[in-house]
Amino acid sequence: MPLDEVMDAILGSARPSGSEEVELVEAAGRVLAADIMSDTDMPPFDKSAMDGFACRSTDLGRPLRIVETVAAGGMPEKEIGEGECARIMTGAPVPRGADKVVMVEDTEEEGGIVRVTRRSADDNICLLGEDIRAGERVLEKGTLIRPPEIAVLAAAGRTSVPVTEAPVLGIAVTGDELTEPGQSAVAGMIRNSNGPQLMAQAAGAGLPSEYLGIVPDEPGAVSRLIERASGRIDVFIFSGGVSMGDYDFVPGGLEESGFEVLVHGAAIKPGRPLLFGFREGDWAFGLPGNPVSVFVLFEIIVKPFCFRLMGHEYRPLEVTARLENDFVRKAAARTAHIPVRLTPDGRAMLLDYHGSAHIHAYTRADGILRIPARIEKLKKGDEVRVIVPGPPRLASGS
């Protein structure tokens, strides 16, 4: 199945989650479940943008008498008349009569009289309601809540926020060869990299997760684990055991547990045996066991899927870069992903990379170069697309 059809099948199976109300500061990383309206104008009054003197713009050529001082949080008591000014602080309400704040750096003051020494065109006043009007929508349902959205919610007077429920990820790794990092590695054993990697990826995406441990390569083990955890988990993620080997029990396990398999096999590299299925209220991914496959597939497929469940259209950031090296491959049937290093001037450098077991290559990479199916060769200087894994961001196109 080509990558775009895989994405359509997986994203298309998502059902919107319910919603809950959380405390404002707990809302970071979540997705708004409703439009948010402002209860006030922003700014709520004509506000000085500078420390200086509020006066009439027609009076700049003459000495100005200081009639009062207005601090942030205070209210002016006097109206500014001809030849008058008020000393004013950043964030303080501008007195009536004044249409300009001259910044203190552009003045000289002596004995309660101010002279303007330098004229600027800027009025240094943030006008009432110039950012947002009371009753206006400040944030749209489906918005990912990041620190600036938290700031806007606070300014709109929200102490709690309606957000969609976040799916709980259940992370399990399969393989009789696996030992946990804390155990001593016996001959023939491989340390479990994928469990900790997936937990870190879930945490990086702000998604709650539970580690479900190592599943042995034997019939029945996968379905037993699913039944044990199913009340608590929304999205199961298995690593390993999804290919066609004699000991690959994940596809059968999902079917035993009543999952309908929508994807098994994808024209992507790494990740050909990718498995995805769903049953009422639960979803399951089977990712091939090599750590690079797990890393890449989580970033490009699992994360967009989890955000779709929450009602937010997330795609990883994709940038255009100039390739710094020549690239050739023999088989080009699949969309390939390889590690690259990005330079500040927009070049992508290939790294030493031995294939999907070589996760160490990604410790030097900051991007995933995507090579579309049927492209066999790339030359130095060619324009390429690079996926930059990272924290959740705005939906593409917005």
By a kind-dependent CB cut-off of 5 to 8 A, residue 288 interacts, out of ligand AMP, Mg ion, none, with ligand AMP
Residue 251 lies near ligand AMP (rule: CB under 6 A): no
Residue 201 lies near ligand AMP (rule: CB under 6 A): no
> Of residues 274-303, which lie at the interface with ligand AMP (CB under 6 A)?
288-291
Residue 97 lies near ligand AMP (rule: CB under 6 A): no
Return the CA Rg of the chain.
29
**In the complex, least distance from residue 255 CB atom to ligand AMP, rounded to whole angstroms:** 18
Interface with ligand AMP by CB under 6 A: which range of 10-18, 63-71, 192-200, 332-340?
192-200
Give Cβ neighbours of residue 61 (< 8 Å, ≥ 6 apart).
116
Residue 253 lies near Mg ion (rule: CB under 5 A): no
Report H helices in the chain.
Answer: 3-12, 147-155, 194-204, 221-229, 250-256, 291-297, 303-309
Of the candidates 241, 217, 236, which has an alpha carbon nearest to the alpha carbon of residue 289?
241
Q: What is the pairing mode between strands 335-342 and 268-269?
A: parallel
Q: How many H-runs (helices) and E-runs (strands) does the chain carry?
A: 7, 28
Q: How far apart are CA 116 and CA 354, in angstroms?
A: 69
Structure tokens, 106: 């552009």
> Of residues 229-248, which lie at the interface with Mg ion (CB under 5 A)?
240-241
95, 142, 167, 175: residue in contact with Mg ion (rule CB under 5 A) = 175
76, 97, 142, 240: residue in contact with ligand AMP (rule CB under 6 A) = 240
Interface with Mg ion by CB under 5 A: which range of 90-98, 145-153, 221-229, 285-293?
285-293
Give Cβ neighbours of residue 236 (< 8 Å, ≥ 6 apart).
169, 170, 172, 226, 229, 282, 283, 284, 285
**In the complex, least distance from residue 250 CB atom to Mg ion, rounded to whole angstroms:** 9
Beta carbon nearer to Mg ion, 76 or 240: 240
By a kind-dependent CB cut-off of 5 to 8 A, residue 190 interacts, out of ligand AMP, Mg ion, none, with ligand AMP
User: How far is residue 262 from each of residues 12, 307, 375, measured CA to CA in Å?
Assistant: 10, 19, 27
Residue 97 lies near Mg ion (rule: CB under 5 A): no
173, 212, 310, 321: residue in contact with ligand AMP (rule CB under 6 A) = 173
Residue 304 lies near Mg ion (rule: CB under 5 A): no
SS3 121: coil
Q: How far apart are CA 267 and CA 279, in angstroms?
A: 24
Structure tokens, 373: 């199916």
Structure tokens, 33: 């479940």
Beta carbon nearer to ligand AMP, 288 or 304: 288
CA dihedral (135, 137, 142, 148) positive or negative: negative
Residue 106 lies near ligand AMP (rule: CB under 6 A): no
Interface with ligand AMP by CB under 6 A: which range of 63-71, 180-188, 239-247, 389-397?
239-247
Is 20 exposed, middle or buried, given 0-12, 13-18 or 19+ CB atoms closer than 10 A?
middle
**In the complex, least distance from residue 293 CB atom to ligand AMP, rounded to whole angstroms:** 8
Structure tokens, 149: 């959205």
Residue 177 lies near ligand AMP (rule: CB under 6 A): yes
Beta carbon nearer to ligand AMP, 249 or 327: 249
By a kind-dependent CB cut-off of 5 to 8 A, residue 43 interacts, out of Mg ion, ligand AMP, none, with none
**In the complex, least distance from residue 216 CB atom to ligand AMP, rounded to whole angstroms:** 12
SS3 172: strand
Binding mask 210-229 toward Mg ion (x if CB under 5 A, else -) reads --------------------
Beta carbon nearer to ligand AMP, 206 or 240: 240
Q: Judge contact between 50 and 184, C-beta under 8 A.
A: no
Interface with Mg ion by CB under 5 A: which range of 38-46, 169-177, 189-197, 253-261?
169-177
**In the complex, least distance from residue 24 CB atom to ligand AMP, rounded to whole angstroms:** 38
User: Which residues in this chain contact ligand AMP in the complex, by CB under 6 A?
Assistant: 173, 175, 177-178, 190, 192-195, 239-243, 288-291
